Chains A and B, each alone.
Chain A
């Protein structure tokens, strides 16, 4: 058809220097056979059992084989590398059988000299008039360059996979180290306090970060017990260093003088001296207090001071919630001298003192996660759980924290110190 268009004007037969007719004719393929033999791809026809029936010169040249050694003597799979053979038997041949054609499969063919040539193979089953399969026609493209490029990609992928595995292992190790560090900033166990039940919880927002919240409960002298809870600004290793310094400063200060103002003043001095002028000012908020159980009455006296921290809350057995305000208490560590204010309270049986960090009240709630949980909601929540033991109260708060889901993105420390309800007096609810 392509040579018979005699009547139409030849598009190249233009006056302005087009290709002359003779040259144009030579560009046309006038021999289908010649095209078959010397096409820039390999052609191969096999019987259904794979025996080669016809093969073109291009493919013979690529493989370094003679026609008489191949046709009728070799099967298609004989031309493949062993890996290619296995792939052919397990994937290529079954697919070809099932769908009648297959395209773009990467295989390796063996060359007579022992070399390999990477090829892309497509095959189609030719069927007779009644649909019975007659033979398999296969085209073979030289894919050496493409394969080299793909091998680079695969190599790159392997390197990336290895790097990812390494990164995951590193991350796991880091998280392990951080978890140990975090644990070291919190007490392992709480000391038993006569007539007082204590419960705590620490919520870690991210296993990749050491949080900056802290708490502790410890004996001071024969009668009194110290406690504190606070929040260092920032996160990460720097914050952890401040947390560590803060915790041990408060513990040491309490040995010297357990008065809340004295302990907080000492901490203020230490933090200010350590970090002022470092170019990286660090400070914290903290509640520090002492408990003094009275065995005679079963009541517990609370004396506490605060530096910039949300007020501790006394959850009364009757359902009222009293915030222990300490007006004027400054952030600890900001100024060279700071004034701290103390307050007192008495816990009766069934009352519980609850301290928290602002991770709890600043949890984002609502469907769009834009409103904050807030102090008022916390008070309502605690009021609804009045009369519960500190352990139960902390349990309820943990459920509350879990309910925040991804709205809770900060670390949260909780400490509850309560006097067990006196079961002999019915009015203790």
Chain B
């Protein structure tokens, strides 16, 4: 139950930063917090208090943690890192053109 609560708080925090803040860098941070919240949540679920799920020679493992959520999270982290990099690149480009990273000002320029 505790991990659900943490997930909801973190996710909402990230969503708030993504939607309400006008600074584009803060939006990226919000998006990353959202992703991190999901990853924490996934990992906390997969932990059932067992062994690390690595095959060891000559040892009997009776109870092990689910490896699939960890694999999913790893892939998710890779995607998250690449998207954050691409977003920041675009923001730098935009800053070159308009001289600001305020979303309201940039969107108010035309249309």
A and B are interacting partners: no
By a beta-carbon cutoff of 8 Å, the part of chain A in contact with chain B is none
